[in-house]
Structures are given as C-alpha cells and as structure tokens.
Amino acid sequence: MKRAAKEKTGGADIFARAERAAKFIRSKTKLRPQIALVLGSGLGAFADEFGSATRIDYKKIPDFPSSTALQHAGRLVIGMVEGIPVVAMQGRVHFYEGYTMQQVTFPMRVLARMGVKAVILTNAAGAINTDFQQGALVVLRDHINFQGTNPLIGAHDERWGVMFPDMSRAYDRQFRAAALEEGKKLGLSMFEGVYAAVTGPSYETPAEIRFFRTAGADLVGMSTVPEVIVARHMGVRVLGISCATNMAAGVLDQLLSAEEVFETTARVNSQFVALLRAVIPRVARALKEP
C-alpha cells in the first residue's frame, strides 16, 4: 500500500495529482481558506473547536499520505476560527515513517493549489537553548536542515516555482512579530529561535545536541523544514511555532521519552490554542495588506 502511494506521488505529475486532491477537497466545502494550519504532535485538538467544520480523513483524499504516528488524527478540517476560514491538518506524516520527501510535502502542495497563501506550522521540539524552559512557545526565526535531503530534489517543474528558491527570509517577519506580540499580550512565555531538523526517529545524542548548539540551533525536531521549503518555493508565507516539550538530550541529567513530549503538549495545549486564535486574525489582516 505504501509503495503504491509512493509511486503515485513520486511521479513527474505531482502538479496534476495535487490539483486533483485540491479539487476533491474543494468539492466538500464552500469555504475557501487562505490560511492553513499544520497541527503537530498533541496539538491537533484545536481543529475540533472550528465552527461550520468539514472534516475529511486523509485516507479519503486522493494521494494524501496518512499517518501511522501516535497522537495524530490524520484528518483535514476546514472551518471557521474567529470569523476567518481556515484549513487545518490534524496530524502530519514524517520522513521517519518511511514516506518519501515528495509524500511528506504533498499535503502542502495541495493546500497551495486550494488557494492557501499562508501556513502556520506547529510542532513539538526539544530545547537546545538552555534559556527556554519546558513548555515554552518558540516562534521560528530560521532553520537548519540536518535531514540530509531536500524535498525539491527531482525533476524541476516550473509551475511550482523557480529552480533555486531563496530561503533568506523563509519565516515571515510580519507574522513572527505578530505572534510574539500576541503571545506577550496573553502573558505567555515566548521566545524566538532557530529550528534544526533531523530525520529521527531516534532522539539525538548529547554530543549531537552540543554540535547543533555550536551550529546556532535553539531547537531540534523531526518535521516542519520540508514543509517550509516547499511552501516558500510556492510563494506561501510561513509562520512556525514550536512547543519546547523537553530539554534536548544531555541538557539535563535525565533520559528522553515520547511520553514526556506528549505530557508537555497536553499541558501547554490551551496556551497554544489561545495563541493561534490570536494570531490567525493578524495573519488574515497581513494577507489583505498591499
């Protein structure tokens, strides 16, 4: 099944396939969202609160990869937040699940073909920066791709964008400022940082974390960067927000576990939701500005 799905999204006609999936989704709802949310590990519950929602299982969407990871619902939810139409991915697939980079980023392409102009990507990440406390919300300023590959590798299709896309301003400055401002207004402990992406699924060694810190990373995680690269390639504006669910390996004299990650996301979930509710109208306003 996985191999069939791989062949389907691995071909040169990803554009046609993304268009087909987008058309399928559009046929299920009258809403035409310009803002997408990718809700990471343990953060998917927000989409259960949307008004006038249409929910579509990833399995039903042509060529959409469906997640095997724990805590991921695997559902697209289109609905209203603060009077603004949004489309949310309740769960994402990861490279470590064995999907190709084309499959991991296919949903982002579909969102763009649906007319999405801005994406808010959320994730759980390990804190490398010792100023961050567990549970802190961190607005991404930049990233370092340590995944050893790039989702744009393959035959260049100019319908998506240029061959060598610029990444100097991958994380939208206006969105970043708005997120920090709204977070502070809510009294949340907010930071900005550089996200290092690794493949996982094993967590890092303490030596790797020291290396990433020297390289300028504040956070480490196993997602987001492929989606950011593909989104920017298509001209979609990006806001990235991490929940620092744990101190990265070796920062504290203790072991890491996925349970700790889930416990922290559960604890911080209501703050994260409040931040997203405040940020979405700001992003919508920014999209309307000339």
What is the H or E stretch that residue 238 is in? strand 237-247
Which letter, b or e, does each residue of 189-207 get, where b requires 16 or more Cβ atoms within 10 Å of its Cβ? ebbebbbbbbebeebbeee
Q: Give the residue with the Cβ less far from ligand HPA, 110 or 248.
A: 248
What's the closest the beta carbon of residue 138 comes to ligand HPA, in angstroms? 12
CA separation (Å) from 175 to 63, 194, 276, 279?
Answer: 31, 16, 12, 8
Cα separation values, 112 from 148, 158, 189, 243, Å? 25, 15, 32, 25
Which residue, 140 or 261, has its beta carbon nearer to ligand HPA? 261
Nearer CB in complex with ligand HPA: 36/124: 124
Residue among 88, 248, 251, 279 that touches ligand HPA (CB under 6 A): 248
Least separation in angstroms between residue 35's CB and ligand HPA is 25
Q: What is the DSSP letter of 151?
A: T
Q: Is 172 in the site for ligand HPA (CB under 6 A)?
A: no
The answer to whether 43 contacts ligand HPA (rule: CB under 6 A) is no
Give, as ranges, the residues between 92 and 151 that touch ligand HPA (CB under 6 A): 124-126
Q: Are 22 and 67 in contact (CB under 8 A)?
A: no
In the numeric block, which tokens belong to residue 52? 């006038």
Nearest CB to ligand HPA, comparing residues 16 and 252: 252
- Decide: is 222 part of the binding site for ligand HPA (CB under 6 A): yes
Could you tell me which stretch among 58-66, 73-81, 171-179, 220-228 binds ligand HPA (CB under 6 A)?
Answer: 220-228
Size of the site for ligand HPA (CB under 6 A): 13
| Helices and strands of the chain, counted as H and E runs | 7, 9
Nearest residue relative to ligand HPA (C-beta) = 126
Asked if 245 touches ligand HPA (CB under 6 A), the answer is: yes
Q: Which CA distances in Å does 199 have to 95, 96, 176, 253?
A: 6, 6, 25, 24
CA distance 17 to 159: 13
Q: Is 183 in the site for ligand HPA (CB under 6 A)?
A: no
Q: Write down the least CB distance from residue 214 to ligand HPA, Å.
A: 17
**In this structure, which amino acid lies at residue 26?**
R
Task: Report CA Rg, the chain.
Answer: 18
- Beta strand spans in 146-205 (E): 190-197
Distance of closest approach, residue 37 Cβ to ligand HPA, in angstroms: 18
Whole-number minimum distance, CB 48 to ligand HPA, in Å? 22
Containing 196, the helix (H) or strand (E) segment is strand 190-197
**Residue numbers at the binding site for ligand HPA (CB under 6 A):** 124-126, 203-204, 220-222, 245-246, 248, 256, 261
